[in-house]
Structure 1
Amino acid sequence: MNRLSMIILFAALLLIGCQSKASETQVKTEHPAAAPLETSNTHPSSHTADSNIKKDERHKKTSSFEPKATISITSHAYHATSTIITTTDRTEDVSEIAYHIWRTADGPASMKKFSAKSKDTNFAFLFDIKEFRSQRGEYQVEAYSIHKNGKQELLARSTLTFQQRVPILMYHAVDEYKGTGLKGLFVTPANFEAQMRYLKDNGYTLLTFERWKDVNKVNKPVFVTFDDGMKNNMTAFRILQTLKDDHFQPAATEYVIAARIDGGPPWLSTENLKEMVNSGIFSVQSHTMTHADLTKTTNYREELYDSKQKIEQITGKPVIAIAYPFGHFDDTVVEETKKYYHYATATKPGLFIEKGQQNERLLMQRVRISYSTTLQQFAALLEHP
């Protein structure tokens, strides 16, 4: 590629704003850039039952195909809304390529087609998520060669992802406030049920950390987490059970203080935890052994490893996530935590989005839900905490 071509391509990328300072390099640096990018000629695919059946049959037939090209996606920043798609390493001469694109969460029925004819740019196409109502997440991409007789042949498949912003909701006690403890840590059963019904009625997908890989593959991912392991969280469990149906599968994470399991009425028992886990609704994770401020302790093995071991012995499931007590952590805490856990949440408010930064899954923000949170405020916090 000559120097002038490189300058032209980089200028185009700056204009569309799809590059970050650190990631403003192309995945494939051999993309020619002498010709202008193709504009899209979009049209929705048919949404009839017959066309959906035909799509399913087509994908079954091509599931084991041998690729005849490579789809390359220009590297883009976590907040980008567009990227450049090209088709390289072609094994045959091609004069036009059709890109078939759909959002993973919506399935092939949502597929749209785009045409690119510039061989000089490796059939570069500027894809913007505005074509799909600006919905973020994972997209499936297929490249088809178009022959003179109109026949299309599948050349390559790939995926591209525009990271979704994920609310990780933080609860403590689900109970009526009776004057004992911090009122802000309580959410009444009626309010909790209304909040969960809002998630159900508005198309949210409840996840646990075991399904982190699905964050960008589902519609409106959200995590419901509870700190401390209080007995009244069984009320939340019963509410989630009543909301479960064929279309809504509730899921939640209980962060337990391991030393307080079986500690009497305020705390969850071994039997409670087993029931929660066996229901398929709850994942039980760690809130350390004694709820120690990890920035002030040196007994990391007991707080981090021993708590993990104790919980795993009770539930029979891997413990892969932890909530930092009081939300406190520092560099040393993070380094110790990563020895035993894949995910860690704090209390700093905000929606989590992966930016490609070091240890970011051990520094997750959360959205605090309190006694005074109205349903209107709850809805707003899911978007802008």
Structure 2
Amino acid sequence: MKKILIITIIIFSFINNIFADEKFGEIFIKGVSYAENILNENYKNFLDKIKSSDSTETLKQEMIISPEMKEKVLKIPSYMFHYIENVPKNTKDKLRYNLSFSPENLEKLMIYLKENNIETITHWDVKEILEGKKAIPQKAIILGFDDGHLDHYTEAFPILKKYGKKGVFFVVSNFASTDPNYMNWEQIRELQAAGNEIGGHSFSHPNLTTVNAKELEKQVIESKKEIEKQIGKPVISFAYPIGKYNETVKKCVEKAYLFARTTKYGGEINPKKLLEIPTLRITPDFSIKNVGKYFEKKK
């Protein structure tokens, strides 16, 4: 015990003498300060590089489709929802009515899916299926909610949670930041934390075929960066606003996304056309039993 005490006193005395040397102390402090500056500067440069990067390597997630999946068309229909609300049939706003689906009907759909063992999956699941990391589900669908309407959070989200289902919520980044009629970032983060996927749907929902190159980059790529910054997770799917796209738009989307959903009719995912995934539109008079009939047809 005495030996330990003596050694401790000697070490303390040695260190104290070193720092008593004013010159050494100054050098030591400068060295620590210099190291901190380097670390801080490197970290700042790293963040700036991410923010300003145009590299597709930093924008886009990697996906290597397994050989056995390259020719396999997946029987996974992607359904498209807009407003989850009760809109009177005699309303003057016919467009809103035609794009609506009541919360009551959404709940009936969830019950039907549960009773018929139909899974709900996301594009992250599709990615793993195509990579050969996950088996193809016997019966699975994608529930896509477009635009980021507030009722996706207040109406759809509680119903999905109640029945253990998940969806893909395609959000318009500027709407999320500025418009109270749409989900805000906190609500969007809550959706994601519950297992839902957040997809891109542009910056301000224009017809992308009519904008110039700079604006297209802003709508497709910069909006994706903003979403990723807000939710803290990569975004791999995109939905073309009002379903409009051409080869120029598709090439821009390809820089940043693995999957893109159109408004063209269809219920399959072709590995050769991942930027042109078709959809099945949900309308007020949609028959829930059609979901099951789709799988009966595909047997």
Instruction: Give the shorter-chain TM-score range.
Output: 0.5 to 0.7
Is contact 2:259-2:275 (8 Å) kept?
A: yes
Letter in 2 for 1:237: F
Equivalent positions of 1:355-370 (< 5 A) are: 357=272, 360-370=273-283
Q: Which residue of 265, 268, 274 maps to 1:352?
A: 268
Q: Which residue of 103, 112, 117 maps to 1:189?
A: 103
Is contact 1:287-1:322 (8 Å) kept?
A: yes
Distance 1:266 1:164, change over 3 A: same
Q: Which residue of 2 aligns with 1:223?
A: 142
In structure 2, the residue corresponding to 1:186 is in which secondary structure?
coil
Cα offset, 1:263, TM superposition: 3.0
**If each structure's strand is expressed as a fraction of its own residues, which one has the higher value?**
1
In structure 2, the residue corresponding to 1:300 is in which secondary structure?
helix
Cα offset, 1:365, TM superposition: 0.1
Equivalent positions of 1:328-347 (< 5 A) are: 328-347=244-263
Cα offset, 1:321, TM superposition: 0.8
Q: Which residue of 2 aligns with 1:317?
A: 233
Q: Which residue of 2 aligns with 1:93?
A: none
Letter in 2 for 1:350: G
TM-score (norm 1): 0.53
Cα offset, 1:256, TM superposition: 0.5
Is contact 2:228-2:235 (8 Å) kept?
A: yes
Q: Which residue of 1 aligns with 2:13?
A: none
Q: Which residue of 2 aligns with 1:374?
A: 287
TM-score (norm 2): 0.68
String of CA shifts for 1:190-240, please: whole Å, max 9, x gaps.
101111221121111211111112375222121110100000001111001
Is contact 1:167-1:366 (8 Å) kept?
A: yes
d(CA) in 2 for partners of 1:274 and 1:353?
A: 27
Distance 1:335 1:264, change over 3 A: closer
Cα offset, 1:376, TM superposition: 3.1
Q: Does 1:279 align with 2:194?
A: yes
In structure 2, the residue corresponding to 1:310 is in which secondary structure?
helix
Letter in 2 for 1:275: E
Aligned positions, number: 219
String of CA shifts for 1:286-334, please: whole Å, max 9, x gaps.
1000101111112121001111011111111101111001111111111
In structure 1, the residue corresponding to 2:150 is in which secondary structure?
coil
In structure 2, the residue corresponding to 1:190 is in which secondary structure?
helix
Equivalent positions of 1:97-112 (< 5 A) are: none
d(CA) in 2 for partners of 1:343 and 1:162?
A: 16
Cα offset, 1:384, TM superposition: 6.5
Is contact 1:203-1:219 (8 Å) kept?
A: no
d(CA) in 2 for partners of 1:254 and 1:162?
A: 26
Q: Which residue of 2 aligns with 1:203?
A: 117
Between the two proteins, what is the percent identity of the paired residues? 26
Greater relative contact order (Cα 8 A, min sep 6): structure 1 or 2?
Answer: 2
Q: Which residue of 1 aligns with 2:53?
A: none
Distance 1:292 1:308, change over 3 A: same
Equivalent positions of 1:40-189 (< 5 A) are: 163-177=73-87, 179=91, 180=93, 182-189=96-103
Q: Which residue of 2 aligns with 1:133?
A: none
Cα offset, 1:159, TM superposition: 7.0
**If each structure's helix is expressed as a fraction of its own residues, which one has the higher value?**
2
Letter in 1 for 2:98: G
Point out where structure 1 has 5 or more consecutive residues left out of the alignment. 1-157, 245-249
In structure 1, the residue corresponding to 2:145 is in which secondary structure?
strand
Which deviates more, 364-373 or 204-213?
A: 204-213
> Cα RMSD between the aligned structures?
2.3
In structure 1, the residue corresponding to 2:178 is in which secondary structure?
coil
Is contact 2:139-2:295 (8 Å) kept?
A: no
String of CA shifts for 1:38-97, please: whole Å, max 9, x gaps.
xxxxxxxxxxxxxxxxxxxxxxxxxxxxxxxxxxxxxxxxxxxxxxxxxxxxxxxxxxxx
Letter in 2 for 1:254: F
Is contact 1:174-1:188 (8 Å) kept?
A: yes
Is contact 1:351-1:384 (8 Å) kept?
A: no
